[in-house]
Amino acid sequence: MVPSTGYNKTRTAVFISGTGSNLKSLIKFSKTTKSPISIDFIISNNPKAMGLNYAKKFKIKKKVLNFKNKILSEKKLLSVLKINKIDMICLAGFMKILSKNFIKKFKGKILNIHPSLLPKYKGLNTHKRALNNKEKYSGCTVHFVNSRLDSGKIVLQKKVKISKNETEDSLAKKILEQEHKLYPKAILKVFNL
């Protein structure tokens, strides 16, 4: 990615489905002088997503699109993003799969964070599968989004040690803490900063 010209930061939308703790950490990061991005829009497929509260708190525009009709929702989405001059997308716990057509329109400009050391454990229930397989380590990955699920070019990863009595919940918590640090770092890397 090339940073926006002048003093303007790259206008970014964050897509969420739930708690939005990564969204919160990205908003915090975006307000630092070193951040090449500003968070200008929040999209959710879930009207009850807790993360939507950050829109009000930080005075960021938001839109809920249910994705029941993916073609229609993505059409509305593209229009909203265009009107708001959004040039980059960060998926942060967004649990819907974007279409090839949508991804093509934002080629090389969509990042995702995934709670595993990709290419291991793509998709859902990552922690459960890592524990069942008696992995010694898990972690998180920030990657570019392409048309294959959790398969785009990896930007950064952080390894996390799995302890003896690890549960799904304790592992999720441990990894999430690392996600909050990894996403901003990955954004700096993408912008060559």
Task: Give the residue numbers annotated as catalytic, written as ranges.
Answer: 114
| Residue 139 within binding range of ligand GAR, rule CB under 6 A | no
Compute CA distances 21 → 42, 47, 74, 100, whole Å. Answer: 13, 16, 24, 27
Contact residue for ligand GAR among 10, 12, 22, 73 (CB under 6 A): 22
| Residue 51 within binding range of ligand GAR, rule CB under 6 A | yes
User: Looking only at residues 77 through 116 of this chain, which bind ligand GAR when binding is defined by CB under 6 A?
Assistant: 92-93, 113-115
| Residue 179 within binding range of ligand GAR, rule CB under 6 A | yes
**The two three-digit tokens of residue 152, written as one number:** 């785009």
Local structure of residue 153 (DSSP, 8 states) = P
Q: Any bridge partners for residue 46, and if so which?
A: none
Compute CA distances 66 → 63, 71, 76, 81, 96, whole Å. Answer: 10, 11, 11, 16, 10
Alpha carbons within 13 angstroms on the beta-carbon side of residue 31 total 8
| Nearest residue (CB) to ligand GAR, 12 versus 22 | 22
Segment (H or E) for 59: none
Contact residue for ligand GAR among 12, 21, 44, 45 (CB under 6 A): 21
Min separation Cβ 89 and ligand GAR, Å: 14
| Residue 184 within binding range of ligand GAR, rule CB under 6 A | no
| Nearest residue (CB) to ligand GAR, 8 versus 45 | 45
**Tokens 């829009």 map to which residue?**
41
Q: By the 8 A CB rule, do 184 and 14 touch? A: no
**Number of Cβ within a 10 Å radius of residue 147:** 14
Min separation Cβ 193 and ligand GAR, Å: 23
**The two three-digit tokens of residue 20, written as one number:** 């939005």
The type of residue at 139 is G
| Nearest residue (CB) to ligand GAR, 135 versus 179 | 179
Site size toward ligand GAR (CB under 6 A) is 14
| Residue 18 within binding range of ligand GAR, rule CB under 6 A | yes
Q: Which residues bind ligand GAR (CB under 6 A)?
A: 16, 18-22, 51, 92-93, 113-115, 176, 179
